């Protein structure tokens, strides 16, 4: 049995540029490709933060360690798998835009257009830009998995945070753990984390 998924150009799929200027590690570029495939397979209009979270956890050992112990990770992956048959179905008809992020970086950077035309959800696009910013702050040229994981939990209304919280992984605690490991909040005080 063949699935009928229309072939699209990388631009039409919301593809991120993967050239040297993209600012993503090879591993993170693979995470983005996995998220794109998952969105297409699930019939979602856009790549959202839950797609990115799922692909990241499947691909990145550091991200899995940051999430927590094996039972917690298993529960989280279970929620992500259920996305296509459970509560995720209500997400198919809508755009992930919590309104918590006032301005979306230029969607053209991510191969997307206006927020309702496909490609990237505004929250996912902002998370990708934040991951790159985090890498630059550490003096790195390319963002990695933990950069993206920390960026995915910035918006408390994002789909990634909804899934994390339902799985018993407090997003705020996860972000603080990641930032403590990377030294991102060093010298800024606990409130900044």
CA distance 163 to 181: 23
* Per-residue pLDDT tens digits for 107-150: 444 444 333 334 899 999 999 999 999 999 999 999 999 999 99
- The SS3 call for residue 143 is strand
User: What is the rounded CA–CA span in Å between residue 77 and residue 67?
Assistant: 11
**CA 70 – CA 47 distance, rounded (Å):** 27
Greater pLDDT, 22 or 63 = 63
Encoded tokens for 18: 């993967």
List, for residues 157-190, the tens digit of each pLDDT value.
Answer: 999 999 999 899 999 999 999 988 877 654 344 4
pLDDT attached to residue 23: 83
d(CA 184, CA 122): 24
Each residue's pLDDT tens digit, 40-69: 887 888 899 999 999 999 999 999 999 999
Q: How far is CA 154 from CA 23, 128, 162, in A?
A: 20, 11, 12
Asked if residue 29 has pLDDT above 50, the reply is yes
Q: Please give the distance of CA 170 from its chain centroid, rounded to a whole number.
A: 16
Rounded to whole angstroms, the Cα distance separating 150 from 171 reads 9
State the average pLDDT over residues 73-98. 68
CA distance linking residue 25 with residue 177, whole number of Å? 21
């Amino acid at each position: 049995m063949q699935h009928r998924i229309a072939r699209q150009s990388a631009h039409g799929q919301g593809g991120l540029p993967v050239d040297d200027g993209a600012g993503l590690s090879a591993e993170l570029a693979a995470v983005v490709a996995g998220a794109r495939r998952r969105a297409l397979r699930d019939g979602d209009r856009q790549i959202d933060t839950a797609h990115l979270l799922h692909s990241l956890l499947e691909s990145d050992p550091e991200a899995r360690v940051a999430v927590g112990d094996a039972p917690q990770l298993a529960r989280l992956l279970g929620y992500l798998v259920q996305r296509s048959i459970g509560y995720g179905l209500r997400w198919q008809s809508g755009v992930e835009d919590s309104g918590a992020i006032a301005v979306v970086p230029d969607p053209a950077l991510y191969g997307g257009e206006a927020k309702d035309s496909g490609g990237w959800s505004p929250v996912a696009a902002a998370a990708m830009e934040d991951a790159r910013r985090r890498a630059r702050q550490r003096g790195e040229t390319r963002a990695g998995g933990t950069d993206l994981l920390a960026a995915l939990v910035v918006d408390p209304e994002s789909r990634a945070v909804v899934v994390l919280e339902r799985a018993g992984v407090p997003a705020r605690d996860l972000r603080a753990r990641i930032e403590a490991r990377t030294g991102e909040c060093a010298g800024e005080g606990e409130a900044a984390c």
